[in-house]
Amino acid sequence: MPLAEIKSKTNPFSAFKLAILLLALIIVTWSWKSTQMSVSTLLDGWQNILVYIGGNPEIADSGFFPPSLKSSGLNRYLISMLETVQMAILALILSVFIAFPLAFAASRNTLEILIPGRRIASLALRKALYTSIRFFANLSRSINELVWALIFVSAVGLGPMPGILALGIHTSGVLIKLFSEGIENVQPEPVTALMATGAGPIKVIRYAVIPQITPYFVSMTLYRFESDVRSATILGFTGAGGIGAYLYDKLRSYENQDVTTILIIIVITVALVDRLSAVIRKRYT
């Protein structure tokens, strides 16, 4: 590549890059003004946060500290936190069960392996599968878990089950997108070499595609498990089980010391899950 061309491509002050920077500044400024963001308002109201955390001196135990350590309440919170983790585990299994097979049909390269040919019927079938599965993925992940939880609460009643279904449907959409992007970025050489030997579509995917994407799949699955644990702590606000039900109840009744206890349990649990995920991820990467 000529030196002049290299300089042109690496010039940080090219007209195109300056135009992109200007456009970004315009979008940020417009968004800042439209949403009424204000640093001065935050600084002026900072003291109110401290007053809120400290509590009303005229109301006993209205502050967030010290956290409540009553054994009866602590035991209930720990059991409900365990239930929350169980919800996240079952939701993850459900979402992987849905997303893993659909991701191959949501990826153009593996669709051509599964449905080869250039005939109109093959092209139409690939297009229909790709579009419909992508639409399902977009729909399921665009709707928040809380909305899904409300929908499933109306169907199956209160308890952990609607929370599991809500997390499972939402996470399946996220994993379909993540998995399909990983599949579309595999190296084509092993696929081409195996197809040249006359191997069938299932064998090509099993021996040429899956080995390449396993570390990525494991990493994304563990990431979503961490996210599901965090999300499951809030689904109790809708009556979908877990520690969120206690958190919502204590927030409503201004039992803020119990709120602090619950938040500490949530933070510790998420930290432990994150550490466990890091250990498993290290094994596969």
- Domain identity same for 257 and 128: yes
- Domain identity same for 142 and 89: yes
Looking at residue 49, its amino acid is I
Answer whether residue 115 is part of any domain.
yes
Q: Are 238 and 146 a contacting pair, CB within 8 Å?
A: yes
Answer whether residue 59 is part of any domain.
no
What is the C-alpha separation between 257 and 209, in angstroms, rounded?
Answer: 52
Q: What number of other Cβ atoms are within 10 A of residue 153's Cβ?
A: 21
Helix (H, G, I), strand (E, B) or coil at 67: coil
Answer whether residue 66 is part of any domain.
no
Low-confidence residues in the chain, pLDDT < 50 = none
Structure tokens given for 98: 């849905």
Answer whether residue 12 is part of any domain.
yes
Answer whether residue 23 is part of any domain.
yes
What is the C-alpha separation between 251 and 234, in angstroms, rounded?
Answer: 12
- Domain identity same for 158 and 279: yes
- Domain identity same for 1 and 136: no
What is the C-alpha separation between 270 and 243, in angstroms, rounded?
Answer: 13
Identify the pLDDT of residue 97: 93
Note the pTM of the prediction, 2 decimals. 0.81
* Count of domains forming the chain: 2
Q: How far is CA 23 from CA 12, 26, 34, 83, in A?
A: 16, 5, 16, 47
What is the C-alpha separation between 205 and 29, in angstroms, rounded?
Answer: 47
Answer whether residue 193 is part of any domain.
yes
Q: Classify burial at 78, counting beta carbons within 10 Å of its beta carbon; exposed 0-12, middle 13-18, buried 19 or more.
A: middle
- Domain identity same for 211 and 279: yes
Q: Classify burial at 228, counting beta carbons within 10 Å of its beta carbon; exposed 0-12, middle 13-18, buried 19 or more.
A: buried
Q: How far is CA 256 from CA 111, 114, 262, 268, in A?
A: 54, 56, 10, 18
CATH classification at residue 119: 1.10.3720.10
- Domain identity same for 204 and 94: yes
- Domain identity same for 75 and 27: no
Identify the pLDDT of residue 25: 92
Identify the pLDDT of residue 90: 93
- Domain identity same for 22 and 150: no
- Domain identity same for 100 and 4: no
- Domain identity same for 15 and 150: no
Cα-Cα end-to-end distance for the chain: 35
Identify the pLDDT of residue 68: 74
Identify the pLDDT of residue 72: 73
Answer whether residue 194 is part of any domain.
yes
Identify the pLDDT of residue 172: 93
Identify the pLDDT of residue 26: 92
Structure tokens given for 263: 């938040």
Domain enclosing residue 5, as ranges: 1-33
